[in-house]
A and B are shown apart, each in its own frame.
Chain A
Amino acid sequence: MNIFQDANRKQIADRRRTDWLLHILFVVATSIGVIALCALIIDILIDGISRLQPDLFTNFPSRKADGSGMKSALVGTIYMLLIMAPVSFIFGVGAAIYLEEYAKKGRFTRLIQLNISTLAGVPSIVYGILGLALFVRLLALDRSLIAGALTMTLLVLPIIIVSAQEAIRAVPKSRRDASFALGATKWQTVSRSVMPSALPGVLTGVILAMSRAIGETAPLVMIGALTYVAFLPNGITDSFTVIPIQVYNWLSKPQLEFKELAASGIIVLLVLLLLMNFSAILLRNKYQKNV
């Protein structure tokens, strides 16, 4: 008996062709993203690699392209990170712990939750307007380092809260039960049982939020930080500049040399972003091994 005799050859061929066509389509869809990214990186490398010299990191920006550097922008970005990271960690993780562990699950909590999720998607320039009104004008901080860092903190807070909540929620309930059953209070359970398990996930979220913040330009433009700064900030109330703003400044000049400088600035920013995302991945891998 031939078990293949009633096979419909035409239908089989049609199915095969559909399968093959869609396979090609999906490969193309994937390649477009990858090719675009590669093209961007190659283009920037060609433009900027020649300017990627010690001068870039040790010199301040100047009117002449030769010998012009981005020391003030690099230091400004690092200072901003140093203020933003602890402030947004404390408030973001604090809010996440409250919402997950302490808040009663009611209508009010759901409303807050909905608001936070919405805020995570608000365009960054809106945070710029808020920062301008709140920090620059109302608190009279002017266009200072602290005003910029706090504006950026507002921008990343919802992202940190949401990702920290997810990490906290992923800790199994049985681990909380074990702690409570031994006579632990809420805070003892959170600090000794929940947070040690959630911390790698929380930190991953914080790092990814930080890497979003150092690439943002719009909110800082809004609070008036789009200036020519050829000195290092002496304190948190000094004016400052950051890498993306320095790049923007260079790009707005007509000379070709400044375009090259902008490209090299982008390379530095990309490397910084890669390093931060890489450390987030390392943390996540460590996390997966522990669970």
Chain B
Amino acid sequence: MEALIHIDKLNLYYGAFHALKNVTLTIPEKAITAFIGPSGCGKSTLLRTLNRMNDMIPGTRIEGGISIGGTEIYSNEVDVETLRKKVGMVFQQPNPFPKSIYDNVAYGPRLHGTTNKKELDEIVETSLKSAVLWEEVKDHLKRSAFGLSGGQQQRLCIARALAVNPNILLMDEATSALDPISTLKIEELAQELKDKYTIVMVTHNMHQAARVSNQTVFFLNGEVIEYSDTEKLFSNPTDQRTEDYISGRFG
């Protein structure tokens, strides 16, 4: 697997708080990488640097570099809106807009200038199919997205993210608000999507990381303690702290 994202000696500060310490990491293309670690360890913060959502938090300062496919994303030439189009994100709580299912999926393409009705119809259909939601909603695309169940709403949010044709999909604890059956559906979906997309997921659930990811990164207090193939990390960790965490001694 080829590395798509290179993170090089990244330091991030929220005001005086040093949230990410000297993080160096590579993330492989078309695979699932899971970030695990106890609350407040910096895993979500690192995820949000990848599409620069942290830019909006006042007092955030960043040192070091992140390159995606060879482009330094924090350089001045990078257009943040284009970056976010290429690096989609799914949040912890399903957050559909108070609009119809169709308009939710079409929101992104419309932002970037697609207005042709036929084109939009096509994008909506393929996106909903990719998110395995099409069969459930194809007959009532005009209904409010709020009428869907939590798990369906989250798959709608995935479809919405896919509609702008990203390369990378960030999932920030995307299943933590869902029931076990919906969680399983999202996990299966992630497995299918990794053939086309590079997926980075934050999870507070070690078992989920073990089940679905190819590579796992273990964080503690803003540092990357260890990262390797998921199988190796869970069966034969090199660092004592990783072993303590995955065996449930803390966290």
Contact = CB atoms under 8 A, between A and B. Distances in A.
- Answer yes or no: do A and B interact: yes
Contacts of B110: 192
Given A184-B81, A185-B81, A290-B98, A178 B111 contact: no
Given A181-B53, A181-B84, A192-B107, A174 B93 contact: yes
Contacts of A184: 81, 111
Nearest to B85: A183
Contacts of B84: 180-183
Greatest chain B CB density within 10 A among A175, A182, A192 is at: A182
Contacts of B82: 183
Contacts, number: 61
Interface residues of A, number: 21
B164 A182 contact: yes
Nearest to B104: A178
Interface in B96-149: 96-99, 107-108, 110-112
A104 B110 CA distance: 28
Contacts of B81: 183-185
A181 B111 contact: no
A181 B84 CA distance: 6
Interface string A166-193: 0000001011011111111100100011
Given A174-B91, A177-B91, A183 B97 contact: no
Nearest to A193: B97
A114 interface: no
Contacts of B108: 182-183
B201 interface: no
B98 A291 contact: yes
Contacts of B91: 174, 177-178, 181
Contacts of A104: 58
Nearest to B84: A183
Contacts of B53: 177, 180-181
Contact of A178 (B51, B58, B83, B97): B97
Contact of A181 (B58, B96, B98, B161): B161
Contacts of A196: 98-99
Contacts of A182: 84-85, 88, 107-108, 111, 160-161, 164
B95 A174 contact: yes
Nearest to A182: B108
B88 A181 contact: yes
Nearest to A188: B111
- Top 4 closest pairs, chain A to chain B, by CB: A183-B85, A174-B95, A182-B108, A181-B89
Interface of A: 104-105, 172, 174-175, 177-185, 188, 192-193, 196-197, 290-291
24 contacts: A172-B95, A174-B95, A178-B95, A178-B96, A178-B97, A179-B107, A180-B56, A180-B84, A181-B51, A181-B88, A181-B89, A181-B91, A182-B160, A182-B161, A183-B82, A183-B84, A183-B85, A183-B108, A183-B164, A188-B111, A192-B110, A192-B111, A196-B98, A197-B98
Interface of B: 51, 53, 56, 58, 81-85, 88-89, 91, 93, 95-99, 107-108, 110-112, 157, 160-161, 164
Given A178-B160, A183-B85, 14 more contacts: A178-B95, A178-B157, A179-B107, A180-B84, A181-B51, A182-B84, A182-B88, A182-B160, A182-B161, A183-B82, A183-B108, A183-B112, A196-B98, A291-B98
